[in-house]
Amino acid sequence: MRVTTLLKKLLGIKHLVVDDFEIEGGALIIDVRPRWRKLRCSSCRRRCSGYDSLEARCWRHLDWGGVQIWLRYAPKRVECHRCGVVVQQVPWAASATTRFTWDFEEQVGFFAQRLDKSAIELAFGIA
């Protein structure tokens, strides 16, 4: 089994392709991209044509055994007939402008209902 295949299975995110990875400062940075070929609008989720590419962004994912996991991808802008020029939809986050994956936001939201702020800050390393 290839390492990229193993990382994809461990991430557990549908419609995701793992291209590469690197370890930087104790964090695992995984280069990913959406599996679908046709770009989608992040607002209305319709298929759109590409406009141009943006710089690479990183999204924080759930930690694995104390190691921070970051997903890195250079999103594209799309030209949507309804919404105009917007950033493409990515399958691992609510939008390409957020800095956290769906799974990370769900986990923090779950604990925010049950713990105080200082415990969440300590557990996830966020303020």
CA distance 15 to 30: 15
pTM of this structure: 0.87
Query: Average pLDDT in the 114-125 region?
Result: 90
Identify the pLDDT of residue 33.
92
CA distance 84 to 80: 5
CA 92 remoteness from chain centre: 4
Contacts of 46 (CB under 8 A, 6+ apart): 40, 80, 81, 82
What tens digit of pLDDT does each residue of 25-58 get? 989 999 999 988 889 988 888 898 888 888 999 9
Query: Average pLDDT in the 75-97 region?
Result: 88
Residue 13 identity (one-letter amino acid): I
CA distance 89 to 97: 10
Contacts of 34 (CB under 8 A, 6+ apart): 15, 16, 17, 88, 89, 90, 91
Domain boundaries defined on the chain: 3-124
Identify the pLDDT of residue 3.
86
